[in-house]
Chains A and B, each alone.
Chain A
Amino acid sequence: MTALSLRDVRKNFGATEIIRGVTLDIQPGERHCIIGPNGAGKTTLFNLISGRFPITSGEISLNNTRIDQQPPHLINRAGLSRSFQITSIFQRLSVFENLRCALLWSMGYRYSFWSALWRQKALNEKAEFLLEDLNLASRRDIPAGLLSYAEQRALEIGMTIAGGASVILLDEPTAGMSNTETDYAMALIRRVTQGKTLLMVEHDMKVVFDLADTITVLVYGQVIASGPPETVRSSRAVQEAYLGALEE
């Protein structure tokens, strides 16, 4: 049983093929990092998995159920949640409301227009708890759009994991963070994704090698290597295509 599995997934934008046959299996509980040069198609891959774009061909399944023809909200309900490379939060809502929104569906409120939010104790407690967890309690009532960049990223992560999905996709969660912020964010991610399946895109090699159980290298829409960090780091092809320039 795999948590997430991709079978020869392809994506064309017009005539150009961006994702050229990606096959990938992610085991439950695995921490899987995808690395690769800019424009390799990592974000596109996330977009395909999460249903933002339809795939051109191939197969994607979540917990052995096909999800590749489904709209994003159904995929989410099936237990997959993602974050965005470009921060994507509800700008005008307060931090607390952002988190509460992220909790709503999973706690069974659906489209309810008869239950008053302020009376939902369990919901509010959970949101407050998350707020503490994310270290955002002091910013509780500030519109999310006014948070600092790092705080927004933290909120983004918080909203992604709030719904309690079993498979989490994080797109460059630490992009634009300072070293200490990055360390903090990584600790947070480690903590909140305990026992979940994590698929993450990241450029920061320190983070990647620290966190990942498995690394996949994507170059021009193709997987050129996949395996435990040591194997990937020592792979010739990977060094040439991605790590080489850094390592001299």
Chain B
Amino acid sequence: MTRSGNGARWIWVFAVALALAVPWAFHNFQTGRDSGFVLSMLSQMGMMVILSLSYNMLLGQAGLFSLCHATFFGIGGYATVHFLNAAGAGSLPLPMEVIPLLSGLTGLGLALIFGYMATKQRATAFAMITMGIGELMATAALMFHSFFGGEGGVTTNRMIDHSLFGLTYASGMQVYYLILVWTLICAGSMYFLTQTPLGRMANATRDNYERAQFMGYDPRVVRFLQFSLSGLFAGVGGGLYAITYEIVTFDALAAPLSANALLMAYIGGTTVFGGPILGAVLITLLQSGVSLLSNSWLVYVGVLFISMVMFAPAGLSGLIIAHGPIAAAGRLRRLTVPYLRLVVPFLALVLGFVGLVELMSFLTIGAAQGKKLVLFGSAINIEATQPWLISVVCLLGGGAWLRWEARAFHRVWESLTADLKQRDRV
């Protein structure tokens, strides 16, 4: 316990240090300019971390499958624009650093209302009610202009000239650090919540809501409180969104973002507190990074998703955690060779698949653009049969090979874990 606890602590320290350092890795010291794109990505990651962690307060910790989480994110964003405008006009004498708290309170307010309705039910009925709420709010955002600004959204200027530290927030770097601080605050608070009676009872009602009732707790109240608090954090995330982009449109509360929250939490792994962070980072990279490389990125997200559900239902963090006992026993090294043997067929499989998808989409969509297909650094002639053939061979051959290697890997893994069990017993 203490050993893994210490390990976990070091991982956190490392993660924070990494987050502090990354923007400087992309800083151009000659021109003195930051990479705006990298900063945007990092900022986006920050708010997505908050979004997915707060979503996991529902899905992972309370077993509530919500389909309207973006609603609270979005409302936090819209409210923040109005707060910032008021602050900019001088009628809200609050420093920038505190404004995300107001955003959170807005999220909380709305979550109290919708949570009261939705948490009346659980399981599928809950999911469907939240789906309805999400649709209603997204449509309402398009319909009512005075608050939501219609389709053009509402804009603001974050340079309100009021800061605790005298910052202007003109540069993305300052904004990024503001986001980082708030992300840490939120993540810390959410972690704290998991260690409180409410957090624990949320886990309990997830596992067995009926038993919780016979221990004096009303599961509905537990769901309600958990839902509201997660709305609070989502609201903070939305506030940071508004500060970063200085515009909020209905996309910030529409269904695709709710779906994203779900994807991030699930892919990262819902069983571990930090899992959704991994998911948020990965998905943001995929959406903003891979989409620069390929217009078919949605296919890759879909395939990644399906393979995760099929082969790693506990998510990325689940995969990592599974290595915990082996690492603790100091046997991780025995997995190196089996892992290396997986790499080549895996790459072949990916190469084949990506190749086929890109060839296909260039044949029907891209060819018309007259663009050249550049795959893995070299231009490819899609008319020739050769690339097609190579892709198919890679895909099928890699697949078969990977299957075979995976079986071998499985055997090694099994024998390792069996060994460990044996040792445990002794």
A: residues with CB less than 8 A from B are 50, 52, 71-73, 76-77, 81-82, 84, 88-93, 97, 100-102, 104-106, 109-118, 141, 159, 163
Q: How many residues of B contact A (CB 8 A)?
A: 29
Q: Which B residues touch A163, using CB under 8 A?
A: 215-216
- Bound complex: CA A106 to CA B193 (Å): 20
- Bound complex: CA A12 to CA B188 (Å): 51
User: Quick one: given A111-B198, A112-B198, A113-B193, are A90 and B204 in contact (CB under 8 Å)?
Assistant: yes
With both beta carbons as reference points, the residue of chain A lying nearest to B221 in the complex is identified as A111
B207 touches A73 (CB 8 A): no
B216 touches A89 (CB 8 A): no
A76 touches B218 (CB 8 A): no
Q: Which B residues touch A77, using CB under 8 A?
A: 216
- Bound complex: CA A106 to CA B198 (Å): 14
A73 touches B218 (CB 8 A): yes
B207 touches A115 (CB 8 A): no
List the 7 shortest-distance A-B pairs measured between CB atoms, nearest first.
A105-B216, A113-B198, A90-B207, A72-B213, A109-B197, A76-B216, A112-B197
Q: Which A residues touch B208, using CB under 8 A?
A: 88-91
The 8 Å CB contact of A117, one of B195, B206, B213, B218, is: B195
B residues 245-265 near A (Cβ < 8 Å) are none
B210 touches A115 (CB 8 A): no
Distance between A51 CB and nearest chain B CB, rounded to angstroms: 8
Distance between B192 CB and nearest chain A CB, rounded to angstroms: 7
At the interface, yes or no: B211 with Cβ under 8 Å from chain A?
yes
User: Quick one: given A89-B211, A90-B208, A91-B207, are A113 and B199 in contact (CB under 8 Å)?
Assistant: yes
Using an 8 Å CB-CB cutoff, how does the interface string of B121-141 with A read, 1 for contact, 0 for none?
Answer: 000000000000000000000
At the interface, yes or no: B225 with Cβ under 8 Å from chain A?
yes
At the interface, yes or no: B56 with Cβ under 8 Å from chain A?
no
Distance between A165 CB and nearest chain B CB, rounded to angstroms: 9
- Bound complex: CA A74 to CA B203 (Å): 21
Q: Which A residues touch B1, using CB under 8 A?
A: 141
B214 touches A50 (CB 8 A): yes
Q: Which A residues touch B271, using CB under 8 A?
A: 92
Distance between A240 CB and nearest chain B CB, rounded to angstroms: 35
Q: Which B residues touch A115, using CB under 8 A?
A: 196-197
At the interface, yes or no: B51 with Cβ under 8 Å from chain A?
no
The 8 Å CB contact of A100, one of B200, B210, B214, is: B200
Using an 8 Å CB-CB cutoff, how does the interface string of B174-203 with A read, 1 for contact, 0 for none?
Answer: 000000000000000000110111111101
With A104-B216, A163-B216 already in contact, 17 other A-B pairs whose C-beta atoms are closer than 8 Å:
A72-B213, A73-B215, A73-B218, A76-B214, A81-B214, A81-B215, A89-B208, A90-B204, A101-B201, A101-B215, A109-B197, A111-B225, A112-B198, A113-B193, A113-B197, A113-B229, A118-B195
